[in-house]
Amino acid sequence: MKKILIQLDGDAQASVFDRVVAVDAGAEEIFSHCGVKPEQVEALVHGAIFTRHPNDLKDTAIFVGGSDAALGEEILAAALKAMLPKFGLRVSILLDPNGANTTAAAAVLAARKHLDLKRTNALVLGGTGPVGQRVVRLLAREGAQVRVGSRHVGRAQAVCLKIESLVPNAQLEAVCTDSSVDLAGALHEQTLVVAAGAAGINLLPLDVRLACVKLKVAIDLNAVPPVGIEGVEPTDKAKEREDMIVYGALGVGGTKMKIHRAAVARLFESNDQTLDAEEVYGIGLALK
Amino acid sequence: MKKILIQLDGDAQASVFDRVVAVDAGAEEIFSHCGVKPEQVEALVHGAIFTRHPNDLKDTAIFVGGSDAALGEEILAAALKAMLPKFGLRVSILLDPNGANTTAAAAVLAARKHLDLKRTNALVLGGTGPVGQRVVRLLAREGAQVRVGSRHVGRAQAVCLKIESLVPNAQLEAVCTDSSVDLAGALHEQTLVVAAGAAGINLLPLDVRLACVKLKVAIDLNAVPPVGIEGVEPTDKAKEREDMIVYGALGVGGTKMKIHRAAVARLFESNDQTLDAEEVYGIGLALK
Amino acid sequence: MKKILIQLDGDAQASVFDRVVAVDAGAEEIFSHCGVKPEQVEALVHGAIFTRHPNDLKDTAIFVGGSDAALGEEILAAALKAMLPKFGLRVSILLDPNGANTTAAAAVLAARKHLDLKRTNALVLGGTGPVGQRVVRLLAREGAQVRVGSRHVGRAQAVCLKIESLVPNAQLEAVCTDSSVDLAGALHEQTLVVAAGAAGINLLPLDVRLACVKLKVAIDLNAVPPVGIEGVEPTDKAKEREDMIVYGALGVGGTKMKIHRAAVARLFESNDQTLDAEEVYGIGLALK
C-alpha cells in the first residue's frame, strides 16, 4: 500500500513548501488540492475513507494547509465531521496552515531549553494571530503565566476566553501593546517574550526591551525585515545578545522543519490521529 | 516506462476516490485535472499521444470521471475525436463518471448469480439516470426483458430509443412509476428489480414489493438513508429477506471496487481500448 | 532525495505534454500548477528554496511552460527575482513555454547539419513570434546574417532591437513579408528559410520559393495544414525536394523531444542554472 497524503489547501496555488516537506517525510503519493472550500471537504474525505480496507487506512492521510488559518480550521472541522470512526472509517489528519502549529511548537521548545516554563512569565506579542494563539496555548499548558498582547485589548481578551475553554488551568492576562508605555508595562517582570505578529512589523523597539531587566529569552518569529523584535537577527539561534538569549525566525526554523517532517511521518502510523497544536508540540518534545 | 494515468474530472476538485483506486490499481503517475471542459480536451489528449513512441503508448491512459455523467460522456467523445488511431497515436480510455459503469456492472453481476438473465423480467427504477441507463443496457445485452421505470414515462421512452440504437435486439418497455398503483403494475410478473435512483429517495415501498409474488431478487444501489428499496439494508449482500435475495449498495460495493481496479489495470495492457459500460461489465465477468 | 520538478503553467490546464516529458526525463515528483499568475510565483519559489538544505537544492527544479510565451517570460522573471543566490538558496529553472526554446534549438540544429551558419543568409518568417524570435537569436549567435520577416515591419524592427541588445554582434535586418513581391525580395540571396508563424497559415507559396535559386534549406515548424512552407510535408526530415533540403515540423520534432528531455534531466545536475534559448541550444549541440 502506497502512503497517500491528501493536501487540502484553501489558497489559489497549493503550497510548494508543504508538498516538498511531505515528499521528504516519506509520503509516496500526494494529492494536492488548491482552492479548497469547506463544502467540498465531505466528498474528498469520503474518497479517502471508502477506498481502502479499514486496516489499510493508516496509509491514507490528510494535511490541511494554506495561508489562512481560520479557513484551515474550518476545513479540519468539516473533515472530522465527514469521517465515520464508528465503522473504523477515518484517516489521520494534520493541521498546519501557514506553519502555525509547527512554528508555535518550535518556539515553545526553544524557550523550554532555557527556562522552567512552570515558573515563566511570558508576553506573546501578536498573540491573537494564528501562530501567537498557539504559542499562548502551549505555554499555558506547560504552566506558564502568559500575557496575550495585542494592539486591541478586546481581541486579546477574546483569545484568552477561547484558550481558557481549551486549557482549564490556564493563567492568562490580556494586555494592550499599542504604545511604548503600554508595551513597557506589559513586559515588566516578564522573563520570556515571543513576537508572533504579521511580517515586517517591529513589535518591540530595542530600548523598551533593554529596559526590562528580568527578560531572559526573546524569540522573534518574523523573518522579513524589519524584524519583529529590534536587535534580533533572523539567523540568531540561542545567541547571547545584551544579556539575553535570542532567537530569530530562521534560528527556530530548523526545529520547525524537523517537527513538520516528523508530524507528516507520524500520520502514517495509525488512522485515528488528529494532530493539532498540542499533538504537534508533543511530537517536537519526542524529537529530543 | 512509467504507467501514467490522466484523470479528467469536470468537478471543481478532482475525485479523491478515483485517484486512490488508480494508485491501488498500479498507475505510477497520476495527472489529476479538475474543472475539465470539453474544449480543453484536445490539447490534453495531444499531450498524451505525441510524447511517447506508439509502441509505448500502452503505458499512458486516460480516466474520465467526475460527478456529472453527461459531461463525462462529452469529455470521452472529445478525447476520442482528438486521437489519431490511423497513425497508432491513441491511448486507452476508461469512462466511469460517478462510478456509473462500475456500479452498473456490479449490480448486473449480482443479479446474474441468482437468475438466468435470458429468462429474466426486470424493472429498473430510476432507469433514466446514468447508473440506471447502464443497468438497462447491460441487462438488455444479456437478453433480459427490461422495463425502464421513471416518474416521467416520456423520459423512459427516450432512454428506450437510445438503448435500442445501441443494442439491436433489446427487449425494452418504458413504464411510469409515479404512483404506487403504477409501480405495482410495473413490477407485476417481474423477477428482478434494481433501484438506481437519486440518493435518499425511497423508490419502492415495502408493501408494493411484498405484493409482487414472482420477485426473486431486489438490488438497491443507494446507500444514503432512506434507502431506495424499503426493507433492504445498505450492507445486505445476497441476504434472504421475505423470500427474496436482496443486495444493498455496500453489498454491491465490494465487487464494484474490484471491477474499478481491474478496469484501470486493464488500460495499461494496450493503447487501443475504450472501456465503457459493456467493456467494464466484461472485465467484471472475467473476475470470477 | 527525490527529484522534484515544479511545473508552472499559466494555462487553465497544465500541459500534459510537458508533464509526460518530465516523467520520462526522470523527474520523480512533479508539482503541476496551472493558472499561474506572476504575483503567485514568489511564494511558490520560496517553497522550493526554503525546504531543503542548499546542498540538496539540485534535486528541486522549476519548469516554466504554458501556451503563452510572454506570460512564461514574466513567470521566469518573477521566479529569478524570488531566489536568494547569495545564500545558495536557488533552484535551477527551465523556460520552454509552448516548446519555444526546444523547437527553436531543434530548427537551428537541423539547419546546421547542412549549412555553415557563419556564412548563411537566413530569412525567418513569423520572426516576431516566440519561436521565431528564438530562431533569430540562435542563428545570430552562430554568426549568420538574419532577416526577421513580419507582415508588420515595425514589429520586426522592434524584435531586431531586442535581439541586438542580447547579442551584441548580431547581423539583423527587419523585412516586410506582407505580399509576394515583398517576400520574393526578402528571400532573394538567402540560403536558409525557417517558417515559425502561427499554425495553419501558408507563409511561403511554392512559386516564390522555387524562384529563389540560392535557397538550400527550408524548415517549416508548423504541423497543422496548411503548412507554413508550401510543398513541405510535416514528416519531411532532411528530405530532398526541388533541389533543396526540407524539414517539416514532425521531421524536427524528434530532435526537439530529445532536447526537451535532456534539458529537464540537466536541471537536476546543479541548482544554479537558468536554461533559456542559448542554454537549451547548447544542450542540443551536446547531444550529437
Interface residue ranges in chain B relative to chain A, Cβ cutoff 8 Å? 12-21, 23-24, 30, 32, 257
Q: Which pLDDT belongs to residue B279?
A: 98
Contact A229, A250 (CB under 8 A): no
Q: What's the predicted TM-score (pTM) here?
A: 0.95
Both A90 and A107 in a single domain? no
Task: State the SS3 of C70-137.
Answer: HHHHHHHHHHHHHCEHHHCECCEEEECHHHHHHHHHHHHHHHHCCCCHHHCEEEEECCCCHHHHHHHH
Query: Cβ–Cβ of C23/B29 closer than 8 Å?
Result: yes
**Which of C40, C49, C51, C52 should one mutate to test binding to chain A, selecting the residue with the greatest count of A CBs within 10 A?**
C51
The DSSP symbol for A127 reads T
Instruction: Name the minimum distance, in Å, from the CA of B6 to any CA of chain C.
Output: 8
Task: Tell which of C95, C124, C143 closes a domain.
Answer: C95
CATH code of the domain covering residue A207: 3.40.50.720
- Band (pLDDT 50/70/90 cuts) for residue B80 is very high
Contact B145, B120 (CB under 8 A): yes
Number of domains in chain C: 2
Q: So what's the ipTM on this one?
A: 0.93
Of A14, A15, A20, the CB nearest to C60: A20
Q: Which pLDDT belongs to residue B103?
A: 97
Residues of C in contact with B1 (CB under 8 A): 24
Interface residue ranges in chain B relative to chain C, Cβ cutoff 8 Å? 1-2, 4, 6, 29, 31, 33, 35-36, 40, 43-48, 50-52, 60
Q: Which pLDDT belongs to residue C260?
A: 98
Contact A115, A192 (CB under 8 A): yes
CATH code of the domain covering residue B81: 3.40.50.10280
Query: Which residue in chain B is spatially nearest to C32 when comparing CA positions?
Result: B31
Q: Residue B258 falls within a domain, yes or no?
A: no
The yes-or-no verdict on residue A205 having pLDDT over 90 is yes
Instruction: Name the minimum distance, in Å, from the CA of C55 to any CA of chain A.
Output: 15
Q: Where in the sequence is the domain holding B230, given as residue range(s)?
A: 102-252
Query: Cβ–Cβ of A13/C33 closer than 8 Å?
Result: yes
Of B13, B17, B30, the CB nearest to A33: B13
What mean pLDDT comes out for the span A270-275?
98
Q: Residue B42 falls within a domain, yes or no?
A: yes
Name residues whose C-beta falls within 8 Å of residue B194's C-beta, 6 or more positions apart in sequence.
Answer: B107, B111, B122, B123, B124, B125, B132, B135, B218, B219, B220, B221
Both A112 and A232 in a single domain? yes
Interface residue ranges in chain A relative to chain C, Cβ cutoff 8 Å? 12-21, 23-24, 30, 32, 253, 257
Query: Cβ–Cβ of C40/A14 closer than 8 Å?
Result: no
Which tens digits make up the pLDDT trace of B181-233? 999 999 999 999 999 988 888 999 999 999 999 999 999 998 777 889 999 99
What mean pLDDT comes out for the span A159-170?
96
Which tens digits make up the pLDDT trace of A12-34? 999 999 999 999 999 999 999 99
Both A70 and A169 in a single domain? no
Phi, psi of C192 (to 5 degrees): -135, 135
Query: Cβ–Cβ of B46/C19 closer than 8 Å?
Result: no
Q: Which pLDDT belongs to residue B216?
A: 98
Q: Which pLDDT belongs to residue B199?
A: 82
Q: Residue B263 falls within a domain, yes or no?
A: no
Query: Which residue in chain B is spatially nearest to C250 when comparing CA positions?
Result: B50
Q: Which pLDDT belongs to residue A19?
A: 98
Q: Residue C162 falls within a domain, yes or no?
A: yes
Residues of C in contact with B45 (CB under 8 A): 16
Residues of chain C with pLDDT under 70: none
Task: Tell which of C36, C71, C95 closes a domain.
Answer: C95
Both A70 and A200 in a single domain? no
Both A174 and A49 in a single domain? no
Both A49 and A164 in a single domain? no
Q: Residue A108 falls within a domain, yes or no?
A: yes
Both B85 and B125 in a single domain? no
Both C15 and C48 in a single domain? yes
Q: Residue A283 falls within a domain, yes or no?
A: no
Q: Residue C55 falls within a domain, yes or no?
A: yes
Query: Cβ–Cβ of A30/C33 closer than 8 Å?
Result: no
Query: Cβ–Cβ of B20/A46 closer than 8 Å?
Result: no
Both C84 and C199 in a single domain? no
Task: Tell which of C72, C95, C118 closes a domain.
Answer: C95
Query: Cβ–Cβ of A19/C36 closer than 8 Å?
Result: no
Both C197 and C112 in a single domain? yes
Of A1, A31, A35, the CB nearest to B16: A31
- Band (pLDDT 50/70/90 cuts) for residue B170 is very high
Both A188 and A248 in a single domain? yes
Both B236 and B164 in a single domain? yes
Cα end-to-end distance, chain A, whole Å = 30
Q: Which pLDDT belongs to residue C245?
A: 98
Q: Which pLDDT belongs to residue C223?
A: 79
Residues of A in contact with C45 (CB under 8 A): 16
Instruction: Name the minimum distance, in Å, from the CA of B17 to any CA of chain A.
Output: 4
Please, which chains are in contact with A (at least 3 CB pairs closer than 8 A)?
A: B, C
Q: Residue A158 falls within a domain, yes or no?
A: yes
Which tens digits make up the pLDDT trace of A213-253? 999 999 999 877 788 999 999 999 999 998 999 999 999 99
Instruction: Name the minimum distance, in Å, from the CA of B262 to any CA of chain A.
Output: 14
Q: Which pLDDT belongs to residue B202?
A: 92
